[in-house]
Structure formats: structure tokens, C-alpha cells
Structure 1
Amino acid sequence: MMTGHAPRRRTLRWTLAIGAAAVVGWAITGTGVGPASLLAGREGATEIVSGLFPPDLEADLLGRVAVAALETVQISIAAMVLSVVIGAPLALLMAANVEAPRWISSASRGIATMLRSVHELLWALLFVAAVGLGPAAGVYAIALHSAGVVAKLCSEQLEAVDRAPVETMKLTGGSRLTCTLLAILPQARANIASQLLYQWECAIRSSIVIGFVGAGGIGQALAIALRLFRYQELATLIVAVAALVVCVDRLSKVLRGGLGATTRWPAPVRPSYERSTP
């Protein structure tokens, strides 16, 4: 029986591999990816790269870049606070071990899915049309998308906690609210905080991208410099973006470490015969 199944499995693996290769080839060919497309745009790329140097370091520009970077940080923080206000209740209602009524849990899951399925850029376009250009549109756009992501990630952290303390509290007569507050949330608290900090990093990057549609921050300054072919100014803005992202990444790592949510490899356990004394 084993010898009969082995050729079939081998044939199936080869069929899947050939099918996957064909799909990849179809995608690459259909999108025009390859050396030819890169060579075709070499003149424009050379002009842009040569125009980036040296970066513009005038005091007036550096002041405007600093203001735009601070506005980007403001957008990300305000958006994260708003996303937690929306997403955290959804996460609690979605988590299976919280045991919310089925219709409430399903409705919350549907709302979270809808929020995160719409990209920040589309939300930004809608809010720019609704409230006008500026950082407020960026805050609302990032907050709605991030709320859906926060709800999903945090609900998964809630569901991943140790069941033993939860079941013990239920046996002692604890209500669903009591179990959630005293047995589920304390276990998931550090990991939820880590997920929120990571989402803040994503909000920084998103606020840069949505600035291209007029939602404020350093992204809007990048879009203006690019449209006006101010490549030296663009270079300064790119350096500022890189510095901002690096600083936020480092700060987030430090905060996660302080919360005890970083991954630490356990010390290797020596075999018993090595620990034995002579």
C-alpha cells in the first residue's frame, strides 16, 4: 500500500510545483517585471538620483521638515488612541473565551473585518473629501483601518491565554465579566501592549503614505516636492522619514522590553551528566 501511494504523492508534488511556477511566470510576464522595464526607465531614474544630491539643508527647509515630522507623529498617536477606543471593545466581544452572545460576537467580527479590509488610502480619500485637506483626515483614515487590525490582533491574544485560571474562576462562581477582567486580561496584557506598539509603528508608516493624498504630515511635503521636481528637498525629506521610522522602531522596542513582551531565549539546560559533581 505504501509503495502505491508514494508515486501518487510524488506526482502530486510535481504537479503543484509546476502549477505554482506557471502561475508565478504568468504574473511576472503579465506585469512586465524584468530587466527590460528597468532599462526602459533608466534615464528618468538617473535624473532623479542625480538630482537628490546634495540634499537641501537650508534652515528654513529644515524647520518645515521638523514641523511636518512632528505632525506625522501627532497623526499616528491620535490615530492609535482612536483605533484603540474603537478596536478594543470589538476585540473583547470577538474573543471566543470571553463568551459574548453569538450575534454580538459575529457582528463585532464583521465590523472589524470591514474596517481593516478598506485600505488607509481609500479611507483617506473619503475623509479628505468629507473634512478637507489636513491631518484630521489622516487621523480618521488610519484610526478606522487600525481599529479593525487592533480588534483582530488583540482578540487573538485574548484567546491564546492559559485556560486553567479562567476555568478555575468559573468553577468558583465567577461571571463572564469577572473572568475577563481578572483571568483573561491580566494574562494577555503584555502581549496586547506589544501588538499596540507595533501597530503604532505601522501608523507612522501609514501616515507618511496617506500624506500623498493630502492627509497632512511629512507625506504631504514629500508629494509636493515630488510634483514640483524639487529633488534636493525630496532628499532631505527622505532622510527625515528614515530617521523618524528608525527612532520610532527603537522607542517601540524599548517600550516592549519594559512591558516584558519581548522574546527572550531561555538559557540552555545542561545535561544531567554534565551537572553531576565528580
Structure 2
Amino acid sequence: MNSPSGGAAPGPAVSETPPDSASAPPAIPHERRSRTLWLVLAVATAAIVWSMNGTGVSVASLVSGWEGAQEILTGLFPPEVDRPLLASVAQAAVETLQISIAALFFGTIMGLVLAVLMAGNVGFPAWLASAASFVAMVFRSVPELLWALVFVAMVGLGPTAGVYAISLHAAGLLAKLVSEQLEAVDPAPVEAMEMTGASKVAVGLLSIIPQARNNIASLILYQWECNIRTSAIVGFVGAGGIGQALVVAMQLFRYQELATLILALLVLVIVVDQISRFFRRRMGSATR
């Protein structure tokens, strides 16, 4: 039946509610978010206070130890610069550089092999990936200083023990970080290569690693910087380099000689950092 105005009768009213409104997840109330934030802050604050009390960190401990620190700091100046000492420091710095480079070489080889085995998108058997992950975890979980003690007992005092110790720890770190970079690449080229019947090694070397090579190179260069600093630490247990000279100077209270060694280590770290930054900037991995 037509309406009085001659038009068609109006149909049923159409709901203006969007069809997907019923499936939208409920918003988290603002009050609940605030309570969660305050809870996290309270737990973090309690953990910090508990840790500081347990370790005895306080302003009073710094004040009480100021006299000893002042004695050491005043003894560092002026640094000793006689010719025989500078020649010895230069030799220790060269040895430290050699330790860092040799450790980077061995650590990179082991780390890359473990990373390829660990990466889920390469597709090695689960038992092999788990074994590689466990080995990498052991390598990086043991501090370099403990590895150095082990290798000093095995091969004796000197830089050889330092190279082996730093290599293992570097391999464990690089394996974890590089495997994460490999798993983050674009999967499309990987799948295309797998469809051609390529082996897992070929897929890793020709499709996955090339996509992540800049980030991998940046990680390796950063590991070199870490090796320089670590080589000074392992020297404290007789693993060669500047660290071994540092501990001798400290034990004999030769503070001016200690200052010269610290300055040499600082210069070495700055030089390696600038070289690493230069190469990372050329690869687009550094902005400054």
C-alpha cells in the first residue's frame, strides 16, 4: 500500500552500529593501567632498596673510603714517561691489540657457525639447533675471567690463554645476537630459494646471511671493541696484555706507572672505537 505522499512505504529501520563493534576487544580501564604501573614501580623500588641494603651501598661507604681513593688518585700524577717504561707499555698495548684481533677471528667463526645452526628460519633439525643453543649459552654464561683461569691452567701464562678465553665468550654472544638478526630477515627470498631445492647451508649462506650482513658486520665490529676492554681484565689472571702489566703495577704500588698504563689503554680503546665507527658508518650502521 502506498503512502499518502505517493511514495513507497518506509522499510524497517537499519541499525547504525558498526558490524564489528561487538567483536572489538574491551578497552583496559584507565584505573587498571594506573594500578599496574604503580605496582611495577613499587616492586622495582623495593628490589632496588633491597639490593642496596644487601650490598652495603651508601654515601657513608664512599665517604669512609675517600682517604684511600685520594691516596691512589694523588699517586697517579704525574704519569711516568721515561723511555724504558714507554717501550714496555707500547709492547703491552700491541699485545693487547693482537689478543683482541685473534680472539675476534676465532670467536666470529665459532659464533657464525652456531648462529646458523640456531636460527629457526634456516631449518636445521631441532636437536641440532638445541645443541648449538646450549653450547652458545655455556660459552657466554661463563665470564671471560673464569675462562682465562681455565686456559692459564691449560696452556700457561701469556696472551694465548687470553685469546682462547675471549674467543669462547665472544662466540657465545655473537651466536645469540647474530641468530636473532638472521631470524629477522625477509622470509620471501628464503622461501623462494627453498622451493628451488637448495640445501639448508646454501639457503643460509646465499639468502639469509646476505640480507643481514650489515647488521652482522656491525655486531662483529662492536665485539672487537669489547675484546679490547676484556683483554685488560683477563690480564689480571696472567693472560697477557696491558692487564697483566696493570696488576703488577698495582701490586707494587707503582701508581705513576699505573697511570701511564691506564692512559695507554684509554688511547687504544679510543682508536679501536673510531676505526669501528668508521666502518659501521660506511655500512650505514652508525649515524655519528
Instruction: Say whether residues 1:186 and 2:186 are aligned partners.
Output: no
TM-score (norm 1): 0.90
The correspondence for 1:245, drawn from 269, 275, 279, is 269
| Partner Cα distance (2:149, 2:30) in 1 | 55
Amino acid at match of 2:227: A
Shift of the alpha carbon at 1:19?
2.2
1:100 alignment counterpart: 124
1:199-251 deviation line (CA, Å, top 9, x unaligned): 11111110011111111000110111011100000111111111000000001
1:262 alignment counterpart: 285
Q: CA RMSD in A?
A: 1.8
Q: Which residues of structure 2 form unaligned runs of 5+?
A: 1-25
Please give the residue correspondences for 1:1-278 in structure 2 after superposition, counting only pairs within 5 Å: 5-258=29-282, 260-263=283-286
| Partner Cα distance (1:99, 1:196) in 2 | 24
Whether the 8 Å contact between 2:214 and 2:285 is mirrored in structure 1 is no
Amino acid at match of 2:45: A
Decide whether aligned partners of structure 1 residues 4 and 213 sit closer, same or farther in structure 2, where only a CA change above 3 A counts: closer
Amino acid at match of 2:120: A
Other structure's SS at 2:121 match: helix
Decide whether aligned partners of structure 1 residues 4 and 113 sit closer, same or farther in structure 2, where only a CA change above 3 A counts: closer
| Partner Cα distance (2:240, 2:201) in 1 | 41
Decide whether aligned partners of structure 1 residues 244 and 3 sit closer, same or farther in structure 2, where only a CA change above 3 A counts: closer
Bigger radius of gyration among the two? 2
- State the identity as a percent: 56
Shift of the alpha carbon at 1:5?
4.4
Shift of the alpha carbon at 1:30?
1.9
Q: Which residues of structure 1 form unaligned runs of 5+?
A: 266-278
TM-score (norm 2): 0.87
